[in-house]
Amino acid sequence: MFKSQALPEFLASIDTNKCIRCKRCIQNCGWSVYSWGGDRVQIDTQKCVRCLRCYHYCPVEAIEIKENDTRYRANANWSFYNIRNLKRQAETGGIPLTGMGCDLPYPILFDNLLLDACQVTNPSIDPLREPMELRTFLGKKPAKLTIKKDANGKPKLKTKLTPQIELAAPFIFSPMSFGSISLNAQKILAMTAKERGILMNTGEGGLHEDLYPYRTNVMVQVASGRFGVNPQYLNAGVAVEIKIGQGAKPGIGGHLPGEKIPLEVAKTRMIPTGTDALSPAPQHDIYSIEDLRQLIYALKEATEYKKPISVKIATVHNVAAIASGIVRAGADIVYLDGFRGGTGAAPAIIRDHMGIPIEHALAAVDDRLREEGIRNEASIVAAGGIRSAGDAAKAIALGADAVAIGTAALITMGCTVCGKCYTGNCSWGITTQRPELTARLDPEVYGERLSNLIRAWEHELMEILGALGVNAVESLRGSRERLRGIGLDSQMLDILGVKPAGR
């Protein structure tokens, strides 16, 4: 048999002295690493992705998954992954696919930013004992408010507000479609969104009927493939999002492999079972800002101007000018997806080399919209690499109204960021449609874990706000004076609009 020259990344091993032959590892591994050899478990380590499902479910801790110490000769220029990818390409002639966000060591500017805190001269606030407002409203805000008094002399708002989405905290879940993730994973997102008063986003895969009970906390998406888009769907959620691009794969479209399209997904997307679901990069009805305006208003007409329209783009070099165009085209929300954002499937060459980080993009877009006097016309959602409430707070200080999290939410469901979402073999039942795997993901159990995460982030954000001496997340928004840069050059500080630490 032809033996691949692409070295295995990981070595799975079982301590035969400890192993009780319970075969749980065989049963749990979605990658078929383990098989029964008559008297012991056999291992095909080439298939191992180190998702650690087997490790967690081995009752006697007999399993160990190590980095493969057998490496190509160390070379500072030719890394293990360079060489391995070349071997794989030589053997297949294909494009190496990958999942999750870019894992290369590009600078992460969130780690070069520090938040301010109060000492002596301005009091901090104790969020445990004093009111702290995290509520966030997404949507177009009026440039000015007109107030008139009614017959009883009570002030009344005369300005007619456009539709707003109320979030209990400035967090939403990023779009992940039914197809790319399992229905149970979507249910977990929907249940948590409802419980915590935030939003989940259907992604471009339609809204399965099981999710209609959660519609008050759902944003539906329309993209180039138009999967699952009908009038009922458009009016099902609280907002509609037009997906132009995704941070992990700017400029290229979605491609859900046929392995992940069983009957239920095919029905929801209205395509044949087992075909590849193609949502190409260009939306062939959008070649300009004017065309985008046409679709935005088509959706507004279809929803009778009752729902805010969001436009999601990947952050690319000219993101500020593009975002300005999007706002002028009538979008109520601009969703910026940074290049470290996750994906269910993207060519590695695109994910690892295209776009710009969310930190730069966010600062540039916020600046541009302020300069043009249209920052109130749309809310900004920042996504693509938000790992903690700290990142979220920094993003808000840079100018975001809310942040979206995808990978962070999946991690609560068991995800270990192994990056093999595109294969449809996820042993945790998240990015797969294989029924024996998806059944593992109990929405009740994992819904509670995800709710825990959001609750914890709410507390953390309140602690941060308290330390900053403000009692509402609104007071932090765009407040770059409360950020300082560390280890950044003057040009970078200028782009981010922050002072260096010490100034």
Partner 1 sequence: MKKIDAKGVHFKELNENIRQALADGKTKITLNNVNGQYYIGTGLKGKDITINIEGVPGNDMAAFMDGPTIHVSGNAQDNISNTMNSGKVLVEGHAGDVLGYGMRGGRLFVRGDVGYRVGIHMKGQKRNMPVIISGGMAGDFFGEYMAGGVLILLGLNAKKGESIVGDYLGTGMHGGEIYIRGEVDIERCGAEVGIDDPDEHDLKTLEKYISEFCKDFSLDVKDIMKKPFKKLIPVSSRPYGNLYAY
Q: How many residues bind partner 1 (CB under 8 A)?
A: 45
- Regarding 4 and contact with partner 1 (CB under 8 A), the answer is no
Give the residue with the Cβ less far from partner 1, 69 or 301.
Answer: 301
Q: Which of 36, 42, 78, 95 binds partner 1 (CB under 8 A)?
A: 95
Query: What are residue 309's DSSP bridge partners?
Result: 240
- Regarding 432 and contact with partner 1 (CB under 8 A), the answer is no
- Regarding 180 and contact with partner 1 (CB under 8 A), the answer is no
Cα separation, 262 vs 277, in Å, equals 11
Q: Which of 27, 32, 82, 92 binds partner 1 (CB under 8 A)?
A: 92
DSSP 286-328: -SSHHHHHHHHHHHHHHTTT-S-EEEEEE--TTHHHHHHHHHH
- Minimum CB separation of residue 65 from partner 1 in Å reads 20
**One-letter amino acid of 230:** N
Q: Which of 107, 213, 272, 487 binds partner 1 (CB under 8 A)?
A: 272
Decide: helix, strand or coil at residue 199.
strand
Nearest by Cα to 108 from 360, 309, 278: 360
- Minimum CB separation of residue 37 from partner 1 in Å reads 25
- Regarding 243 and contact with partner 1 (CB under 8 A), the answer is no
Would you tell me how many other CB atoms lie within 10 Å of the CB of residue 284?
8
For the chain, the C-alpha Rg in angstroms (whole number) is 24
- Minimum CB separation of residue 116 from partner 1 in Å reads 46
- Regarding 298 and contact with partner 1 (CB under 8 A), the answer is yes
Stretch that binds partner 1, among 130-138, 290-298, 386-394, 437-445 (CB under 8 A): 290-298
- Minimum CB separation of residue 365 from partner 1 in Å reads 28
Cα separation, 354 vs 352, in Å, equals 6
Stretch that binds partner 1, among 142-150, 165-173, 189-197, 294-302 (CB under 8 A): 294-302
Residues 197-226: x where in contact with partner 1 by CB under 8 A, - otherwise, as a string: -------------------------x-xxx
Q: Which of 182, 184, 268, 303 binds partner 1 (CB under 8 A)?
A: 303
Distance (Å) of CA 51 to CA 7, 60, 343, 405, 430 = 18, 18, 17, 21, 12
Give the residue with the Cβ less far from partner 1, 268 or 412.
Answer: 268
- Regarding 117 and contact with partner 1 (CB under 8 A), the answer is no
Four-point Cα dihedral 280, 328, 371, 147, nearest 10 = -140
Cα separation, 223 vs 228, in Å, equals 10
Determine contact, residues 240/222, Cβ cutoff 8 Å: yes
Cα separation, 212 vs 441, in Å, equals 20
- Regarding 230 and contact with partner 1 (CB under 8 A), the answer is yes
Determine contact, residues 176/189, Cβ cutoff 8 Å: yes
Give the residue with the Cβ less far from partner 1, 171 or 233.
Answer: 233
- Regarding 288 and contact with partner 1 (CB under 8 A), the answer is no
Give the residue with the Cβ less far from partner 1, 267 or 317.
Answer: 267
Tokens of 394: 């920094």
- Regarding 258 and contact with partner 1 (CB under 8 A), the answer is yes
Q: Which of 61, 67, 166, 285 binds partner 1 (CB under 8 A)?
A: 285
Determine contact, residues 303/240, Cβ cutoff 8 Å: yes
Determine contact, residues 358/394, Cβ cutoff 8 Å: no
Stretch that binds partner 1, among 263-271, 311-319, 403-411, 457-465 (CB under 8 A): 263-271
Cα separation, 176 vs 474, in Å, equals 28
DSSP 403-457: EEESHHHHHTTT----S-GGGS--TTSSS---HHHHTT--HHHHHHHHHHHHHHH
- Regarding 131 and contact with partner 1 (CB under 8 A), the answer is no
Give the residue with the Cβ less far from partner 1, 222 or 397.
Answer: 222
Nearest by Cα to 430 from 95, 180, 123: 180
- Minimum CB separation of residue 270 from partner 1 in Å reads 4
Q: Environment class of residue 156 by beta-carbon count within 10 Å: exposed (0-12), middle (13-18) or buried (19+)?
A: exposed
Strands 171-173 and 402-405: parallel
- Regarding 239 and contact with partner 1 (CB under 8 A), the answer is no
Give the residue with the Cβ less far from partner 1, 94 or 373.
Answer: 94
Q: Which residues ranging from 329 to 348 are in contact with partner 1 (CB under 8 A)?
A: 347
Stretch that binds partner 1, among 22-30, 153-161, 268-276, 449-457 (CB under 8 A): 268-276
Convert 83-117 to b/e letters by CB count within 10 Å (16 or more is b).
bbbeeeeeeeeeeebbbbbbeeeeeebbebbebbe
Q: Which of 38, 59, 93, 123 binds partner 1 (CB under 8 A)?
A: 93
DSSP class of residue 477? T
Determine contact, residues 277/314, Cβ cutoff 8 Å: no
Stretch that binds partner 1, among 49-57, 208-216, 230-238, 454-462 (CB under 8 A): 230-238
473 Ramachandran zone, left/alpha/beta (phi>0; psi -120 to 50): alpha
- Regarding 5 and contact with partner 1 (CB under 8 A), the answer is no
Q: Which of 108, 115, 234, 281 binds partner 1 (CB under 8 A)?
A: 234
- Minimum CB separation of residue 389 from partner 1 in Å reads 36
Residues 371-410: x where in contact with partner 1 by CB under 8 A, - otherwise, as a string: ----------------------------------------
Interface residues with partner 1 (CB under 8 A) are 88-89, 91-97, 222, 224-226, 229-232, 234, 255, 257-258, 267, 269-272, 274-276, 278, 280, 284-285, 294-295, 297-299, 301-304, 347, 422-423
